[in-house]
Amino acid sequence: MTDMARRMNHQPVRFTTPPDRNPPHVVVLVIGESARRDHLHMYGYHVPDTPEMEREDGLLRFGDMVTPFDYTVGAVPVILSQFDRVLASRITQHDLISLFNAAGYDTWWISNHPRLGPYDSVIGAYSEQARHVVYTTVHGGMMSRPKLDEALLPEVAHALQGAHGNTFIVVHVFGSHEFVADRFPRAYARFGSDYDNSIAYTDHVLAQVTDMLRALPGDNMLFHVADHGVRVSECTAGHTQHGDLKQSYAVPFLMWLSPSWIAHHQAQYDTVRTHLDAPLMTWNLPDSIADAAGLHLADGDATKSVFSPLLARPHRVVHGDGDNINVDYDHSHNTAECHIMPD
């Protein structure tokens, strides 16, 4: 067992009411990679790099989501279990996969990240909780060229075709990770920026997953959030690189809910629409997803769910480099050297 696996919460999950099994539904969480919110057209960017998701009927777009980390191994555990490796030494909340396992769901982890990459062991501790684990890129390190993210689509289709009961699927794309020129096919070399091209390709992959889910009956739902952003050209001589620029912490958060889900949860739908511009942190995801799936947890927190009228404004602490390890995001700025620092 890895150190990360030992730190996970292995206590039994306690529900205040039995999980709702009717009607059957599918929950999909797509974790993006290195996508900055200010480089998506649907958020006002001047390059038309999100055309397919903009055409998705019923898409909800949240305008103020922040991640506490500018790198994957810090950011993904927050999305899955609210675990902040800087502020805590152990995981006190159940991760989403263990939660859905306890609720009787069939659980999947489908990833295009290298399974044996040098930065993958932390994420692997979560992936191994799933009943079905699929890695489309098995060998090589993080900087090697994996398969394009469209390799995930047949695996997602296979999981959905076998979804005869409640199902939870995590899809982990490679997105816009450096080296960004390797993240899209030639057909998507549409713009002058490789980063913009990679965003457009992720838009296509995400729309394909959404359309698969739309074709299924039931109270289905899709959530998409990027783990973190990057320096696109700031202080990098034109190269896309990881770094603690303030914009690297502002990420897209999208949601699609099936017409059936909306019909059965009109009050929650009305509530979530009032929170589209609310300040959020990626640790809002676990309680929000559980709430949408009708999972009522003994240790759940309604103040963290975007579906709850009790949603509270978070204190948004992000973690920079060097001495700026804990920074109040809402009272911060960039230095001339492109690092976040307190005002």
d(CA 282, CA 274): 18
Alpha-carbon distance of 140 to 167, in angstroms, equals 30
Q: pLDDT band at 18, cuts 50/70/90?
A: confident
* Whether the predicted pLDDT of 304 surpasses 70: yes
Please tell me the predicted confidence (pLDDT) of residue 10.
66
Q: What are 169's strand-pairing partners?
A: 28, 108
Bridge partners, 109 (sequence order): 133, 170
Half-sphere exposure of 197 (CA within 13 A, CB side): 19
Model pLDDT, residue 199 = 98
**Per the omega criterion (within 30 degrees of 0), is the bond before 23 cis?**
yes
pLDDT of residue 118: 41
Q: Is the pLDDT of residue 219 over 70?
A: yes
pLDDT at 1 over 90: no
Q: How far apart are CA 160 and CA 28, in angstroms?
A: 10
pLDDT at position 147 over 50:
yes
* Overall average pLDDT of the 55-77 stretch: 96
Average of pLDDT values for 18-32?
Answer: 86
What's the rounded mean pLDDT across residues 336-343?
Answer: 95
What is residue 3's predicted lDDT score, i.e. its pLDDT?
58
Residue 187 sits at the vertex; the CA angle it makes with 185 and 190, to the nearest 5 degrees, is 105
Q: In the predicted model, is pLDDT for residue 216 greater than 90?
A: yes
Average pLDDT over residues 210-239: 93
- The pLDDT value recorded for residue 245 is 96
* Mean pLDDT (the chain, rounded): 91
What is the rounded average pLDDT of the residues 265-289? 98
Look at residue 119 in the predicted model and tell me its pLDDT: 46
Please compute the mean of the pLDDT values over residues 53-66 and round it to a whole number: 97
Q: Which domains does the chain have, with CATH numbers?
A: 3-314 (3.40.720.10)
Residue 294 has pLDDT above 70, yes or no: yes
Q: Over the stretch 225-254, which tens digit does the pLDDT of each residue have?
A: 999 999 998 988 778 889 999 999 999 999
Q: Which residue has the tokens 């047949």?
A: 154
The whole-number pLDDT of residue 117 equals 47
| Segment 57-85 mean pLDDT | 95
Q: Which two tokens stand for residue 248?
A: 């690297």
Is residue 154 pLDDT above 80, yes or no?
A: yes
Question: How far apart are alpha carbons 263 and 129 in whole angstroms?
Answer: 32
- Decide which of 15 and 246 is more confident: 246
Lowest mean pLDDT among 15-24, 271-280, 310-319: 15-24
Question: Inter-axis angle of helices 152-161 and 194-214, to 10 degrees?
Answer: 10
158-195, pLDDT tens digit by residue?
A: 999 988 789 999 999 999 898 888 899 999 999 999 99
Burial class (CB in 10 A: 0-12, 13-18, 19+), 78: buried
Q: How many CB atoms lie within 10 A of CB 76?
A: 25
